[in-house]
Structure 1
Amino acid sequence: MTSYQKLNTSVPPEAGDEAADEKPLCHQKLSAWWLGGGLLMVAALLSGVTVWVLGQIWWSQHKVFPLPKCASIPENLRFDCYPERGTVVTRELCEKRGCCFVETDRPIGRARGVPWCFYPPDFPSYSLGSMNETQMGMVGLLTRQTKTYYPSDIEKLQLSVEFETDTRVHVKIIDATSPRYEVPLDVPRVAKRAENPVYTVEFSKDPFGLIVKRRTSGVVLINTTVAPLFFADQFLQISTLLPSTFLYGLGEHRSNFLHSLEWTTLTFWARDVPPMESCNLYGVHPFYLVMENGGDAHGVFLLNSNAMEVALQPAPALTWRTIGGILDFYIFLGPDPNLVVQQYQQVIGFPAMPPFWGLGFHLCRWGYGTSNETWEIIKAMRNYQIPQDVQWNDIDYMDGYRDFTVDPQKFGTLPQMVEDLHKHGQHYVMILDPGISSTHPPGSYWPYDEGLKRGIFINTTQGKLLIGKVWPGLTAFPDFSNPNTHQWWLENLNRFHALVPFDGVWIDMNEPSNFMDGSQEGCSQGELDSPPYVPAVMGGFLPAKTICTSARQSTSVHYNLHSLYGLMEAKATASALIKIRGKRPFIISRSTFPSQGKYSGHWLGDNRSEWKDMIWSIPGLLSFSLFGVPLIGADICGFSGSTSEELCIRWMQLGAFYPFTRNHNTQIEKAQDPIAFSPAARTAMKEVLETRYALLPFLYSLFHRAHLQGDTVARPLFFEFPKDVATYSIDKQFLWGRGLLVTPVLDPGMDSVIGYFPRGIWYDYYTGSSVNSSGESLKMAAPLDHINVHLREGTILPTQKPASSTSVSRRNPLRLIAALSQNANAWGDLFWDDGESLDTFEKGDYSYLVFNVTQNTFISTVLHSNVEASYIMVEALTVYGVRDEPKRVTVNGKEAPFSYLKNQVLSVNNLQLNLSHGFSIRWM
C-alpha cells in the first residue's frame, strides 16, 4: 500500500530532544533575539496588536530569524544553505538566501564542519499536486513555490514512482516540460508492478518530501522532508536522513570502507590524479549501502553522470548535489547486504566472466626499456618457477608514445616475445591511451588520418577539432559515444593485433586525462565550462586536467558525458576484442562508471610504494566489490617510489588475494618483480603465488557466481555476519566468498598480526588447526614468509596442484578441503569450463558440481557436465574438524587408506576419481 498523507516537516521529536540537551546559543545574536524575539513574546503575552506589528517590522528590517526557529535546530541536522567553496559565508549572504545564520566555533572552509548558514524548517520548496496511478506505480506534478537563488530553476517537475520489484523502488524527478540529459544505461525493463513490496512510500505534499519505509520493521530508509528540494538547470539538490551511521560505497575515493559522517563531502568527477584522500579520483559510482540497526541493509543508486558531490553529516544524513541531468534514484531493500548488491547489479548489469588466465599473476613495468629486457624477466620468472600468466608493457613499447605503434629499435622483437609467451601458455596485455597523436604529416599515421576522415574525434563548441596534450604531445580525443568510433577502434586494434597478437588491453588515461586544462585554445567562458555551482572537484573547475566540458560529442556535450568516457571506451574495446579473438575479452580500465563490470576490471591507480598505500588498497577492493566490479586489484608493491624488500613481500602476500593480481612499478625506481629480491624473499613470494594458484578453482567459481547473479568475490566481513556490529568497520581483513578469511600484515617490523574472528569455528587453511571464536580479536604468528588465511566452518574448497601458469595448473589434479561445522556439515561448489570461450554457461558448455558433507560422508554431485571435467582427476580429500579418529574410510563403498592427525585432520589420498562422475567418501 502507498499512503498519501501530509507529514510534519519540522525537526523530528528525537532531534528536538537532542536540541533540548545541547541548548545551542546564537552567541552574539542573543541580544538581537531579546530585542526582536522579546517583542514578539511581549506581544503574545499582552495580546497587543500594535506591539506585534512593531515586532514584525523589526524582523523585516533586520532579517534575523528568532532563536526558536533557527538555533533550536540541532547542529547535526543543519543542512548547508551555502555550500559554495571559496566564499566566506557572511550573515548578509546567508540571509539573502532566506536561510538561518548561526556562528559556531567550528572552522569554515573546505572541511567546514557544522554549517553557519542552513535551511530553516519552512524554507520554500516544491509542492506536490495529486498523484495518479500508473501501470507501474504513480505519477505526480511538483510545482515550485517561489524562485530560488540558483539561476534557471525549473517551475514544473514530474515525479514518478515505480514499484519495479518487491525489493526495488524507482523514483524519478524530471523537468515536466523539457527533456534533459539521461544516462543511457541499458536497464532491463520491468513489465509488471510488484505485488508484495517490502516497502511503503509516503509523501509530504507542501513542501514536497518523500519517505520510504521498510514495511516489516517500519524503519525509515529515505526521508527527504528534512531539507528543501532544488531543481535548477545546473543545480539539483536533495537531502535525506539515514537510519544509521554505517554507510559504504560512494566511489571512487580513498577513504576508510566505512565512511565518516562528520561533515564529509565526497566529490564525483572522473579525474587523473594519484590516489589521495579527500579528492575525486578516476571513477564515478553514486551508489551507497547502509547497514541498519539490527542487521538489515539497503542501498541507493543515483543514475546521473554529471559532476556531483555528496555531503555527509552526523544526523545521520546525506545531501546529493549534481549540476545537470535528472534525479533518477533506485532504492534496494535487500534486506541482506549481499542481496542489496545483487539487486543493484540487476539494474546496472552483472559482471563479465573473466578468462581463467586473467586470474593468474600479472607482471608489468613502465621502464623495461626494450622488448628483450622484458623477455629476460619472463625467462627468469620461468627459471625460478615462479607462477606467471601474463606479461604487460606500459607506454614505452610505443613509437613516440603513439597508440597502435611499436618502437622499431627498442621493441622490435615484441612480436617474437609474444609468440614465445603463447608457446608457454602465457598471455600478453599492452596499454592504450585514448589520446591520438595529431602532429604528423598527412598520410603518415593511420589512426589520426582515418579518424579525421570519419569525424570521430571530439570537437570544440565551434565545431573545430579539440586538441589537448597527453604523452605523444598534441592529441585528439576519440568520441566513444559515437558508434562510428567503435568501428574505427576495432579496425585499429585489428591492424595492431596482426602485428602483435595481444590477448588483453589495458585502457589508461581515460577520464579522459589531459596535460593541459581544457584544450590548446582554452575553453569557452559559458556556463558549461564555468557553471554557477562547481562541486568540490580537484583543481576547482571542471576542465582541470581534462578536456573542456563544453566540448561536443555525438550524443551530448562533454559536460554530461565526461564521467562516462572510460565506460564507453571499455564497451568499444570489449566488443572489438570479441570480434578479433573470438574469446572472452580481458580489459582493465582506469576510469569507471556503473555497469563497468560488464566490460572490464579496474586497478586502483598510480599508488605509491608505501605501507599506507597497501593499507588503503583493501577498502578500495571492498568498495569496487559493492560497485559490481569484482575484477579489482592495486599495483602490488606500489607504482611510484621504490619499495623495500619487506614491504614488497607483505604486499605480494596481500596481492595474491586481490581478485586481479598485478605487480607494477614505474621507470627509474628499483625493480620490484619477484626475481629482483633475495632468495628468501623470492621464495616467500613464490609460495604465496602458489597458494593463489592452488585456490584458483575456488576463485573462478566465485567469479561465476558474480557473473550469474551478482555475488561479491572479495567480500567485507559484515556481508556474512550482518548481526555482528564489530564487523562493520573492519577493512584490514576480507573474505573470498563466504568462507576464506584473509588477514594480512600491514605494518613494518611485525612478526604477528591481530585479526577479528566472528563467532564460529575457523580453521587454519594450511594446517587445519582450529579456533572456536565467540566473536573476538586474536593475535596470530605472522613471520615474514607467512600470511594468515582461515577457512570458515561449513566450507568446502576445491583446490588444485599449482604450476607456473594456469595453462598447466588447470589440468592438474584437484584436492578438496572440507572444513566441518559444529554439526559436522559442510558445503561447496565448483564451476568448470574451458576457461576462455564466450558464454559457456549460457550455451550449457560447462560443468557444475556441488559438494556436501553430512553424517560423516562427503558427496560430490555432478549437476551439469561437459568434456572439460573429464580431463580432471580428484586426487585427495582433506577434512578439517573430524573430532573422533575414524577406524575405516570407504570410497564409493570400497575401503581406502587414510591418515588422521591429532589436530582433527583426516586425509584421504591417491583417490584418482574422475571429476565428471559423482562419488562418495565415508569415514566411520
Structure 2
Amino acid sequence: MKKSPNLIFHILFLLLLISPSVFSWKKDEFRNCNQTPFCKRARSRKPGSCNLIATEVSISDDGDLIAKLIPKTQENNESQDAPVEVDSKPLLLTVSVYQDGILRLKIDEEQSLNPPKKRFEVPDVILDEFLSKKLYLQRLSEEKIDNDLGFSSVVYLDGDYEGVLRHDPFEVFVRERGNGKRVLSINSNGLFDFEQLREKKEGDDWEERFRSHTDTRPYGPQSISFDVSFFGADIVSGIPEHATSLALKPTSGPGVDGFSEPYRLFNLDVFEYIDESPFGLYGSIPFMISHGKARGSSGFFWLNAAEMQIDVFGTGWNAGQDKIMMPVDEKRIDTLWMSEAGVVDAFFFVGPGPKDVIRQYTSVTGRPAMPQLFSTAYHQCRWNYRDEEDVFDVDSKFDEHDIPYDVLWLDIDHTDGRRYFTWDKVLFPNPEEMQNKLAAKGRHMVTIVDPHIKRDDNYYIHKEASDNGYYIKDASNRDFDGWCWSGSSSYTDMVNPHIRSWWADKFSYGNYVGSTPSLYVWNDMNEPSVFNGPELTMPRDALHFGGIEHRELHNVYGYYFHMATSNGLVKRGNGKDRPFVLSRAFFPGTQRYGAVWTGDNTAEWEHLRVSVPMLLTLGLTGISFSGADVGGFFGNPEPDLLVRWYQLGAYYPFFRAHAHQDTKRREPWLFGERNTELIREAIHTRYMFLPYFYTLFREANMTGTPVIRPLWMEFPAEEETFSNDEAFMVGNSLLVQGVYTQRAKHVSVYLPGEQSWYDLRSGAAYKGGKRHKFEALEDSVPAFQRAGTIIPRKDRFRRSSTQMGTDPYTLVIALNSSKEAEGELYIDDGKSFEFENGAYIHRHFKFSNGKLTSSNAAPSGAGGNRFSTDCTVERIILLGLSPAPKSALIEPANQKVGVQLGPLTIRHGNSPSFLTIRRPNVRIEDDWTIKIL
C-alpha cells in the first residue's frame, strides 16, 4: 500500500520524538558555500573588481561624513579593465565617530531613489547610551594617499587615531595619527559588492532550491560582500559560534588544509555537531578581534542578522594581483565578509589592547548583565527528571553525598503534552510545593520554555496568539505551521515589540500557574528550530512584522525571544529581582539578558577540549556567562572523561551538567566511591571560588572584560600564548589547564609572564615565561594562582550558595618577587537590582611592605552605603613570604594575632603547610590593616 507523504512524515516525526539522535549531524542536511548562491558569487570575485568611487563628500547637518558611491564611467576609468556597472544607482555612505575611538560606517541604498523596499536594519541591539556619545565632525580635511590622483577625506577619531575615506579607489580605513600606520580597513582589496534591489522582469528566475525546499525570493538577489583587513595582526578570533580553535584558521588561500568552507554564521539546530569545523551552530556574532605582538588588538563588528559567511585568507592568497590599495609587504590578516541581505552597518574598534576592544564593542551592544549569585554555582540537569519523586530523590542524594548544588532543571517532558507554561498533572501534580521544598534549602528550579507553540485550540497560549495574529506568516501570509517537539507548531513573531510584551506577561504567577519566585527559565530551540524546515529551521521567505522576510533577520530571532523571556521574569518580580534565562541561540546584545551554552555536544574527549576555545570566543564577543554541558549531552562518558569534565567545568562561567534522555543516568554518585569523591572535590572547588567568580562577573558587568580569558589577554606580548587555547585565565589571577586525553600521565603547561605561579593544590612556586611538565594528578586539573594577586574564597561548604551567605572569607595572598600583591572583592545581596543604586560592597586588598590593607574600591558616594554584612575574614593565607613571622598586628583594633603554619585548603590536610593568620575576625566591609611583625 502506498503511503501518503504526510503519513510518511508523521512516522519520521514519531521516530524523531522517540530518538532524536537518529537526526545527528549530517553534512548533506545543510548547505555549503557552493550551494549558497550569494556566497558562491562573492567568493568568485577577484581583488580590485570593485568599481565604486566616493563623490559629493561633505559633512551633514548631523555632524557625519556623507558621500555617494557611484561606479566609474568609461571616461574616468583609465584602466578600463574593471566592469562598469551602468545600471547601478548611487549608494549612500555615512561615517560617524563616537567617543572612545569608535568609527561607524553605514552604506545603504538611497531611499530618495525609491528602491522596491527598505532594507532591514537590526533594531534593539545598539544602546541608546552609545548613540548619545556621537562626536559631531566640525571640519573635513583632505589629503592625497600614496600616489592617488585625487584627494581623500580625513576625520578626527580621537587623539591617537584618524578615519580616512579614500575617494578613488573607494576605501575606508582607520590609521594611527602621526605615523599613518593602518589599523583596520574595508575594501583595501577591492572586493566590495552591493547587490541592489530591483523590480522583477519577465524571465527572471529568482527562486532558490535546496533539497525539497524552494525559496521564492520575491525580492531577488540582495547580498553584500566586502573585504576587511586587520593590520599588525598575528591572529584573528571571534565570530562565534563554531566548534574550532580560538585563533581562526585560514579558509582560503595557498596551503589551506581542511578548512575550505568559510566560517558560517547562521543559527541552526545541529545535533551532535562535529569539532574542528567552520560550520555555523546555534548563535551568530559577526564581531572579530585581531591581536598581534607589535600593534596590539583591533576589532570589527557588522550589525547584520542575515546569513553570513566569512573567509579568513591565508598568506599569499592574492599573490600576483596588481590591484591592491596598500603596501603588499604590510603585515596584516585579510578577511572576506559575505551576507545574504541587510545593509552595511559596521563598527571599527581601535583598541589598542584586547580589553580596550571588548570595552569598545560592549559599549555599543551592552555590558553583560549581573547574574544572581545562585546562578553562578552548580546546576544539575537532565532530559528529563521523570517526576516529583525523581526530583526529590536526586535532591536528597546530593545531601547524602555532601555535594552542593543550586539548581535542578526540568526539560520538555515536565509539561502537559509539550505545551509550555503547563505541568503534567500526573508526573508533577504539586509543582509549587516541589519548588518550595527545594527553596527551603536555598535551591532553585529551571523549566524549559521553547518558541514553538503547539497548534491546539484548547491550549490558551496558541488560542491567544492565533486570535490576535501574533504568529510568523509563511510566504502566502498564513500562520506558519512547522514541526518541532510539540508536533504541529507555530512561532510567535518576536520582532514585534508588542508581541514581546505579550509574551513577557505569560511569566506572571497568574499566567504561569504553578510557578514560584524560585523558578527560572531555559530557552531552547530558539534558532528557531523547525524539524521539517529547510536546514531544520524557518524558511527564508517567511514573513515577520512590517513585511520583513525571515532571511533578513534569521540570526536575531533567538535574541528577541531571549529578551522577551528575560523581561518577563523581571516583570514577574515587579522589577526587583534579576532574571536568570539560559538561551541556546544568541546574537550581539544577548549578554544583556542572560547566559548561553554551547548546545548539543557529545561525550568525547575532543568535545571537552573544544569547549575551551568555544567559551573563550564567546567571552571575547561580549558573552561572559557561558558554559558547555558537563559530561557531554549525547553519549555515555567513561568515568575518566566525566571526572575530567567536572574538574574543568568547575571553572566555566556557567557550570551545568546535562544529558540526553537516551543516555545512562550520570548523577555524581553513580560511578563508584572514588569518582564520587573526585566529582565532589571539583564541585567544592567551584563553591570555594564563588566570591572570586562573583567579583569577576561584576567586572564584566562594568567593563565587558570576560570572566574567563585567553592567556594573551593578560599577556599580550607573549607569542606563545597566541595559539594556546587549551589553557585559560579565570580573571587575572588564576590559570587553568585542562586534561584532554584518557588516562593521561603528564600535562604540559605554559606559565606566562615574568612572575611565579603557585600551584593551587601544593602551593609550590613555578617560574613564569616557560613550559612545565606536571604529573596528571587524578584529583584535579592543573591550576595556578598568579604571583602578585589576592583571591577571596569561602571555605565552608554548605548545601547551596544561598546557605553560604553569612560564612566568613579566606584571603589567599600570592606574593610576587617584590613581596606585593593586590586583589578585589565585590558583594551585594546576590539577587536584586539594588546594586545599581549603590547597594554593594567593593573592597580593594593590597599587600605591600609587610602590611595587608583593605580599602573601599567603590566610587565616591557609592557602595557600602545601602548594603551591609557581618561577614568577617576567617583566614589569611600567605604564599611566598619568608622568613616566617610569628605574629601580626590588626589596626585600628590594635589586636595582635599569631601567624601559624597551616594547610593551603581545609580539605587537603596532607598538603604542605603555609603561613596562615587565623581568625583575624576583621569585618569584610571595614577599612583595616594587618601588619606582619
Question: Into which bin does the TM-score normalised by the smaller protein fall?
Answer: 0.7 to 0.9
Matches within 5 A, 1:229-628: 229-233=192-196, 234-243=222-231, 244-263=233-252, 264=259, 265-274=262-271, 275-276=273-274, 277-294=277-294, 296-315=296-315, 316-438=333-455, 440=456, 442=457, 444-494=458-508, 495=510, 497-501=512-516, 502-517=518-533, 543-555=534-546, 556-581=548-573, 582-628=576-622
Give the conservation status (yes or no) of the 8 Å contact 2:710–2:729: yes
2:102 pairs, out of 168, 171, 174, with: 168
- Give the C-alpha shift of residue 923 in structure 1: 1.0
What's the counterpart of residue 875 of structure 1?
A: 874
Matches within 5 A, 1:736-751: 736-751=730-745
Give the conservation status (yes or no) of the 8 Å contact 1:717–1:734: yes
- Give the C-alpha shift of residue 166 in structure 1: 4.3
- Map Cα deviations across residues 64-93 of structure 1 (whole Å, 9 max, x no partner): xxxxxxxxxxxxxxxxxxx9615999xxxx
* 2:670 counterpart of 1:707: no
Amino acid in structure 2 at the alignment position of 1:307: E
- Map Cα deviations across residues 612-666 of structure 1 (whole Å, 9 max, x no partner): 1111100111011012111100000000111111110000001111000000001
Amino acid in structure 2 at the alignment position of 1:550: D
- Give the C-alpha shift of residue 124 in structure 1: 4.8
What's the counterpart of residue 135 of structure 2?
A: 192
What's the counterpart of residue 210 of structure 2?
A: none
Q: Supply the distance in 2 between the matched residues of 1:197 and 1:159 (Cα, whole angstroms).
A: 24
Distance 1:259 1:817, change over 3 A: same
- Map Cα deviations across residues 334-364 of structure 1 (whole Å, 9 max, x no partner): 1110111111000000111000000110001
- Give the C-alpha shift of residue 862 in structure 1: 3.0
- Map Cα deviations across residues 871-890 of structure 1 (whole Å, 9 max, x no partner): 21111111111132224321
Deviates more, 1:893-902 or 1:781-790: 893-902
Q: Supply the distance in 1 between the matched residues of 2:85 and 2:390 (Cα, whole angstroms).
A: 59
2:58 pairs, out of 103, 116, 132, with: 132
* 2:879 counterpart of 1:891: no
Q: Supply the distance in 1 between the matched residues of 2:840 and 2:887 (Cα, whole angstroms).
A: 35
Q: Supply the distance in 1 between the matched residues of 2:821 and 2:498 (Cα, whole angstroms).
A: 53
Give the conservation status (yes or no) of the 8 Å contact 1:372–1:413: no
TM-score normalised by length of structure 1: 0.82
Q: Supply the distance in 1 between the matched residues of 2:899 and 2:687 (Cα, whole angstroms).
A: 26
Q: Supply the distance in 2 between the matched residues of 1:352 and 1:254 (Cα, whole angstroms).
A: 25
Matches within 5 A, 1:80-119: 85-86=34-35, 119=46
2:182 pairs, out of 193, 209, 220, with: 220
Amino acid in structure 2 at the alignment position of 1:554: F
Q: Supply the distance in 2 between the matched residues of 1:817 and 1:150 (Cα, whole angstroms).
A: 68
- Give the C-alpha shift of residue 369 in structure 1: 2.1
Amino acid in structure 2 at the alignment position of 1:648: L
Distance 1:448 1:88, change over 3 A: closer
- Give the C-alpha shift of residue 220 in structure 1: 2.1
**Secondary structure of 1:898's aligned partner:** strand
Distance 1:367 1:503, change over 3 A: closer
Aligned length, in residue pairs = 788
- Map Cα deviations across residues 109-134 of structure 1 (whole Å, 9 max, x no partner): xxxxxx8x65264x351111142134
Q: Supply the distance in 1 between the matched residues of 2:86 and 2:406 (Cα, whole angstroms).
A: 56
What's the counterpart of residue 119 of structure 2?
A: 180
What's the counterpart of residue 11 of structure 1?
A: none
- Give the C-alpha shift of residue 548 in structure 1: 1.8
Matches within 5 A, 1:719-730: 719-730=713-724
**Secondary structure of 2:34's aligned partner:** coil
- Give the C-alpha shift of residue 259 in structure 1: 0.6
What runs of 5+ residues in structure 2 fail to find an aligned partner?
1-31, 75-81, 137-155, 197-221, 253-258, 316-332, 858-862, 904-911
- Give the C-alpha shift of residue 915 in structure 1: 1.5
**Secondary structure of 2:286's aligned partner:** strand
Deviates more, 1:614-623 or 1:147-156: 147-156
Q: Supply the distance in 2 between the matched residues of 1:467 and 1:151 (Cα, whole angstroms).
A: 42
What runs of 5+ residues in structure 1 fail to find an aligned partner?
1-82, 100-114, 518-542
Q: Supply the distance in 2 between the matched residues of 1:85 and 1:668 (Cα, whole angstroms).
A: 36
Q: Supply the distance in 2 between the matched residues of 1:563 and 1:747 (Cα, whole angstroms).
A: 35
What's the counterpart of residue 144 of structure 1?
A: 71
Deviates more, 1:275-284 or 1:411-420: 411-420
* 2:765 counterpart of 1:770: yes
Give the conservation status (yes or no) of the 8 Å contact 1:153–1:231: no
What's the counterpart of residue 932 of structure 2?
A: 923
Distance 1:305 1:87, change over 3 A: closer
* 2:854 counterpart of 1:860: yes
What's the counterpart of residue 17 of structure 2?
A: none
- Give the C-alpha shift of residue 370 in structure 1: 2.0
Distance 1:638 1:143, change over 3 A: same
Distance 1:183 1:756, change over 3 A: same
Amino acid in structure 1 at the alignment position of 2:519: D
Distance 1:841 1:331, change over 3 A: same
What's the counterpart of residue 25 of structure 1?
A: none
Q: Supply the distance in 1 between the matched residues of 2:172 and 2:791 (Cα, whole angstroms).
A: 46
Q: Supply the distance in 2 between the matched residues of 1:373 and 1:482 (Cα, whole angstroms).
A: 40
Amino acid in structure 1 at the alignment position of 2:920: L
- Give the C-alpha shift of residue 367 in structure 1: 3.2
- Give the C-alpha shift of residue 496 in structure 1: 5.2
Deviates more, 1:869-878 or 1:333-342: 869-878
Deviates more, 1:204-213 or 1:330-339: 204-213
- Give the C-alpha shift of residue 262 in structure 1: 4.4
- Give the C-alpha shift of residue 803 in structure 1: 1.9
Q: Supply the distance in 1 between the matched residues of 2:786 and 2:86 (Cα, whole angstroms).
A: 57
Give the conservation status (yes or no) of the 8 Å contact 2:431–2:514: no
Identity among equivalent pairs (%): 29
Matches within 5 A, 1:661-680: 661-680=655-674
Amino acid in structure 2 at the alignment position of 1:417: M
- Give the C-alpha shift of residue 600 in structure 1: 1.5
Distance 1:196 1:202, change over 3 A: closer
**Secondary structure of 1:684's aligned partner:** helix
Q: Supply the distance in 1 between the matched residues of 2:532 and 2:733 (Cα, whole angstroms).
A: 48
Amino acid in structure 1 at the alignment position of 2:239: L
- Give the C-alpha shift of residue 154 in structure 1: 4.4
Specify the structure having the higher radius of gyration (Cα).
1
Q: Supply the distance in 2 between the matched residues of 1:813 and 1:150 (Cα, whole angstroms).
A: 74
- Map Cα deviations across residues 826-855 of structure 1 (whole Å, 9 max, x no partner): 1111111110012x3321111111111110
**Secondary structure of 1:816's aligned partner:** strand
- Give the C-alpha shift of residue 150 in structure 1: 13
**Secondary structure of 1:516's aligned partner:** coil
Give the conservation status (yes or no) of the 8 Å contact 2:72–2:84: no
Give the conservation status (yes or no) of the 8 Å contact 1:204–1:225: no
Q: Supply the distance in 1 between the matched residues of 2:406 and 2:663 (Cα, whole angstroms).
A: 24
- Give the C-alpha shift of residue 279 in structure 1: 1.2
**Secondary structure of 2:545's aligned partner:** coil
Give the conservation status (yes or no) of the 8 Å contact 2:845–2:852: yes
- Give the C-alpha shift of residue 432 in structure 1: 1.0
- Map Cα deviations across residues 141-194 of structure 1 (whole Å, 9 max, x no partner): 110237999999842111111221242111111112354211112332124346
Q: Supply the distance in 2 between the matched residues of 1:913 and 1:216 (Cα, whole angstroms).
A: 53
Give the root-mean-square deviation of aligned CA atoms. Answer: 2.4
- Give the C-alpha shift of residue 493 in structure 1: 2.1
What's the counterpart of residue 827 of structure 2?
A: 832
